[in-house]
Structure 1
Amino acid sequence: MTFYSFAKFIVSVVLKPLYRIKVVGSENIPKEGSVLICSNHIDNLDPPVVGITSPRTVHFMAKEEIFHVPILKTILPKLHAFPVKRGMSDREALRKALKVLKEGHVLGLFPEGTRSKTGELGKGLAGAGFFALRSEATVVPCAVIGPYKKFQPLKVVYGKPIDFTQHRLEKISAEEATLVVMDSIKELIEKNR
């Protein structure tokens, strides 16, 4: 058993009963090939929750600051997380993310770039659109529908893949591509609340 599988098992045992997590649409994540999961961000627990509800291993971009926390800097790389400097163009993180997708893995992103203070969907940053356009990845929208309250149901909904073929041909901007992604997430939230 890999460290990732072990950690996923332990976190599932704790979080699934605590938040009565219900998963909808996990079959929308292709069993193989590169996938870009784009989710809304309402809580610090979103990455582990998306990680345990996805049938495949998810590589997450995480804010650089948490890699300075002694125990986390050892554990996070084993969980396939890698740092990104927020508020600036981090070429190293962009390269790493594209490599993850090129190698046929799953990249998990929170396009808003930070947690929503209100629980409402915020504005998406261009990064999600950049990866959707620059890779051949299947783009899967995801909605975490809370709030996180002990023993209250929490829903994680994976939507149908967004077809980016035409958008790639039309060479739309990263910002426009992110809007396409955010609209899909918004629709999932509204339909599944």
Structure 2
Amino acid sequence: MYHFTLSIAKLVVRLYGKVEVKNQHLLPKNEGYIVTCTHRGWLEIVILGICVPNPIHFMAKKELFENKVIGWFLRKINAFPVDRNNPSPSSIKQPVKLLRSGEVIGIFPSGTRTSEEAPLKRGAVTIGNLSKAPIVPALYVGPRTLKELRKMKKATIIFGEPFYIKTNSKEELATYTELLNEKTNLLEKQIGRME
């Protein structure tokens, strides 16, 4: 179902507009990794899926799974629920297990769709620390809807250098969260220089 849905998404997005991917060569090829991305609309989820060569297992808020039909579809395309307000140990165990088996996890660290900068939550760095998998920061710039894409707005995804986390300290996890934020902000400056 993931590949079928992705094929349809590619067709629709290419019909509507242009997608540009930068630094795709930085994505790890022989191990599982976490890709984090800014989250200002739903379109970047689709375009991130198109630009990452491997299937992505997205962490999604549990409220999306309350509708049985939507929940069924989300599970079929590799998404899994997480309680953002009260994350359970299983919400960490599942992505860690997937990463150790070489899969790709997609996380939106701000935890919400917003047009303003939101504080990053600690989930991505916690999972990266436990799984020993690298984190690849990504930034999306462009339209938020198909309607905006249709108006010939270019959609761009840029990837940053992968980095690893190794710590036993909660304080250091907070520092790594800030580092991820800084790396994401640097991508915004980098993409500006490339335009």
- Does the Cα contact within 8 Å between 2:43 and 2:143 map onto a contact in 1? no
Q: TM-score, normalising length from structure 1?
A: 0.89
Instruction: Output the CA distance in 2 between the equivalents of 1:155 and 1:32.
Output: 25
Instruction: Output the CA distance in 2 between the equivalents of 1:76 and 1:56.
Output: 17
3-state SS, counterpart of residue 31 of structure 2: coil
Q: Tell me the equivalent position of 1:86.
A: 84
3-state SS, counterpart of residue 192 of structure 1: helix
Matched, 1:44 2:45: no
The alpha-carbon deviation at position 87 of structure 1 amounts to 1.4
Q: Structure 1, residues 98-146: CA drift from partner, whole Å, max 9, x if none?
A: 111121111110110101233xx32110111111221221211100012
- Structure 2's unaligned 5+ residue stretches are none
The alpha-carbon deviation at position 169 of structure 1 amounts to 5.3
CA RMSD of aligned residues (A): 1.7
- Does the Cα contact within 8 Å between 1:34 and 1:136 map onto a contact in 2? no
Q: Tell me the equivalent position of 1:126.
A: 122
Matching of residues 66-77 of structure 1 within 5 Å: 66-77=64-75
The alpha-carbon deviation at position 69 of structure 1 amounts to 2.5
Q: Tell me the equivalent position of 2:16.
A: 18
The number of aligned residues is: 186
- Does the Cα contact within 8 Å between 2:33 and 2:102 map onto a contact in 1? yes
Q: TM-score, normalising length from structure 2?
A: 0.88
Q: Tell me the equivalent position of 2:155.
A: 154
Q: Structure 1, residues 47-89: CA drift from partner, whole Å, max 9, x if none?
A: 2221111011111100111112243212111111100112122
- Structure 1's unaligned 5+ residue stretches are none
- Does the Cα contact within 8 Å between 2:23 and 2:159 map onto a contact in 1? yes
Counterpart pick for 2:4 among 6, 15, 40: 6
Instruction: Output the CA distance in 2 between the equivalents of 1:136 and 1:181.
Output: 16
Q: Quick one: which amino acid aligns to residue 187 of structure 1?
A: L
Question: Identity over the aligned pairs, expressed in percent?
Answer: 26
